[in-house]
Structure 1
Amino acid sequence: MRDATDAGVYGDGDGDGDGDGDGLTVGQVSSRLGVTVRALHHWDEIGLARPSLRTAAGYRLYTAVDLERLHRIVVYRETGLALDRIRTVLDDSAADVPGALRAHRTQITERIDRLQRLGAGLDRMIDAHERGLLLTVEQQAAIFGPRWNPDWPAEARERYGDTAQWLQYAERSASRGPEEWQGVADAVAGFERALGDAMDAGVTPGSPEANQLVERHREVFASYFPLTRQMQVCLGRRYEAEPAFAAHYDGVRPGLAAWFRRIVDASARAHGIDPDTATWR
């Protein structure tokens, strides 16, 4: 005979109607197992977990045996097992249940490994957005040389942190280690040497040789983010006007910052851009 507790569980219910005293309603099972009514209806429709009883009004009622099956379904589902695999585990007496669970455990382990790698990648992306360079001060000095100022990445973030270009730069930075940055630094250094040599050789702004150097600058700079011609003009102004940039280029060759701006402006004019009105776009 059922006691008062049983009556509370198996008596009047909610959801698909009141129980008749012989089973749990859909609403009661949903509350007890933390499963949505929609899921219970779906499992019934596909024959995975059908209630054994119906009320006179046709409402579903789940018996204790039904509830035990549902418990097992919930446990297997929480491990990520697909419903068709759960059906096999529950209904196929010849099924290798331990083998199926081991295989699924292997899949879960692999998924965890992938998620951990994804998490580590997200951490690097966050750091790159906040710091710019994911290198120590010592690594920066070794890679970029004695004229490099380790405060420059923070200054760049302060100035450009809310721009699309900083986002692009951070995405590239997140995927680079010291070796990749060394390759970037070597490309930049090679370009600057070529720039100084061209100025020494008397290459004139607007000449094919000068225009090739302007194109090479855009290619090298793309290691940070894509550079439009208008943006390149703005950089040329900054290289000449701002003391830190001017000192860097003039350290390669005296007067190089101003000469570089002249060849960039000449190339821009050849492409229909007025250097005096060019904007960062």
Structure 2
Amino acid sequence: MKMKVKEVADLVGISVRTLHHYDEIGLLTPAEITEAGYRLYSDDDLEKLQQILFFRELDFPLKKIKNILDSPSFDRNEALQMHRKMLLEKRRRLDQMIETIDKTIQFAKGEIEMTNEEKFAGFDFSQNPYEEEARERWGDEAVDKSKAHIAAMSEDERKAMEQRYDAIYRKIAAIRKGEPDSEEAQAAIKEWYDFLNTNTGNHYSLEAFKCLGQMYVDDERFTKNIDQYGAGLAKFMCDAMAVFADRNKKS
């Protein structure tokens, strides 16, 4: 049964004006508009609205949400898993912030002592790694940059890039039964990290590189393609990329 805009607003707890705005910018267009001008929302519309509000809860701008939802690669179940990871991370940070506030209240009363480090526990202005993963996964900017970078190459340059890509994968596949933190494995993974940052038109931070490796095992499409070079390669690369990112963050 389709719902009118006021019914949806009351159900969700947002304003009618917000729903009208979502319609105006093409973010959420109702399934039907009657001859009298009433917007009617279907169950599919409500599912899409839920996705929008999950992204809003995580402070994604409306333009970015629209790009994500309009992407041909968007997958609802994948998005829900992403939302869950990001909200758990947000809850962890909030819990730590609340603990810092409680300690600060006690400190102000003279009940406890606090170190400078404890006073700022929970503050983290770096990029949320799961948000970065989401933006890398569904954002169009990285894809456009990569396509433009490759399009600007000559035929010989593209062939050389493809050969280099193939050589790196074969090298890593040959050592995939060893330890991902070995010197040999880390040297090969560094080649892969450098290749991505040199040939895709994008810069992968260490955190984004680590998240990319996790996607090799979380997304069966990645796993299937990578494991064509050897069974278990995706998992080995995931582990080696995580080691590489963690080690170089500390150095």
When normalised by structure 2's length, the TM-score is 0.41
The TM-score with structure 1 as length reference comes to: 0.37
Larger relative contact order (CA 8 Å, sep ≥ 6): 2
Larger helix proportion of the pair: 2
Larger gyration radius, structure 1 or structure 2: 1
